[in-house]
Amino acid sequence: MSNSIVLFGSPGSGKGTQAKLLKGCLQVPHISTGDMLRERIAEGTELGQRVAAKMHAGGLVLDEVVNGMVASRLAERDAADGFILDGYPRTTPQARFLSYWLDQRGIREVVIHLAVDYNSIIARLTGRRQCPRCGTLYNIVSRPPKREGVCDLDGEKLVIRDDDREEVIRERLSAYDRQTRPVLDYYRTAGRRLLEVDASSDPPEKVFDKICQAIDVHDCAQDAR
């Protein structure tokens, strides 16, 4: 079993949800490049403004920017015993950079590909709502809040993220096809450990069950039920 996991999949495949479940199981940090980029935007720097323009248009941020952020984060002390990468790598150059960085440190990662049908993704993401205060995600169809439009945890009014608008989702999926699907080909031919998990229709707990069986951590799957 490896505690160094790369969660791979298209936008809306459930990487963030599975990363949180795995974090509770493996006790290693969940490292989301999306969260890191949104933090840069919130800081209001020139870099943040450039990142915002890319993300709001559904495009991908430059490789060198994301590579630098990820390398710095993985070098922090809490990632010494493993990590869960969510949303990275998204391009083949990023995948090569990560493989080189890990190989230099003797780290063997497991890549978990969450495969989801695109029509399911569009329906899933356009129904997604988020609490702007605590970040909790809901879905108006599959996981609605107890009170419509309000966070269960802190009563904050839920919002639609800019990158969850349908036109942006379609562009994100188009960018995924152009730039990110080749990453799977890279992992398949580079001798890295790649596991395929069908995440199209099962609830998150069932998908987590499949992941735990694949990486041989059955106790976590039992605890998540």
Domain enclosing residue 100, as ranges: 4-117+167-224
Tell me the C-alpha distance between 61 and 50, whole Å.
9
Kindly tell me if the per-residue pLDDT of 118 is higher than 90.
Answer: no
Q: Is residue 190 part of a domain?
A: yes
Q: Is residue 11 part of a domain?
A: yes
Tell me the pLDDT tens digit for each residue of 190-200: 989 999 999 98
The CATH number for 43's domain is 3.40.50.300
Q: Is residue 132 part of a domain?
A: no
> What is the mean pLDDT of the segment spanning 160-181?
84
Of 38, 40, 73, 90, the active-site residue reads 90
**Do the bridges between strand 83-86 and strand 128-130 make them parallel or antiparallel, or are there none, so unpaired?**
unpaired
> What is the mean pLDDT of the segment spanning 93-118?
93
Q: Is residue 101 part of a domain?
A: yes
Note if 188 is an active site residue: no
Q: Is residue 113 part of a domain?
A: yes
Residue from 190, 181, 179, 29 nearest 103 by CA: 190
Q: Is residue 16 part of a domain?
A: yes
Do residues 16 and 137 lie in contact, with contact meaning Cβ atoms separated by under 8 Å? yes
Q: Where residue 121 falls among pLDDT bands split at 50, 70, 90? A: confident
Note if 181 is an active site residue: no
Q: Is residue 78 part of a domain?
A: yes
Kindly tell me if the per-residue pLDDT of 1 is higher than 50.
Answer: no
Note if 15 is an active site residue: yes
pTM score, whole prediction: 0.73
Kindly tell me if the per-residue pLDDT of 218 is higher than 80.
Answer: no
Q: Where residue 104 falls among pLDDT bands split at 50, 70, 90? A: very high
Of 124, 128, 129, 210, the active-site residue reads 128
Beta strands in the chain (DSSP E): 4-8, 30-32, 83-86, 110-115, 128-130, 137-139, 193-198
> What is the mean pLDDT of the segment spanning 94-100?
96
Do residues 56 and 167 lie in contact, with contact meaning Cβ atoms separated by under 8 Å? no
Of 23, 54, 96, 161, the active-site residue reads 161
- Residue with the two structure tokens 């096809």: 177
pLDDT of residue 120: 80
Tell me the pLDDT tens digit for each residue of 47-81: 777 777 766 666 667 888 889 989 999 999 999 99
Note if 90 is an active site residue: yes
Question: What share of residues in the chain are helix, strand, coil (percent, to 5)?
Answer: 50, 15, 30
pLDDT of residue 169: 85
Note if 129 is an active site residue: no
Domain tally for the chain? Answer: 1
Tell me the pLDDT tens digit for each residue of 5-46: 999 888 888 888 899 899 988 999 999 988 888 887 887 777
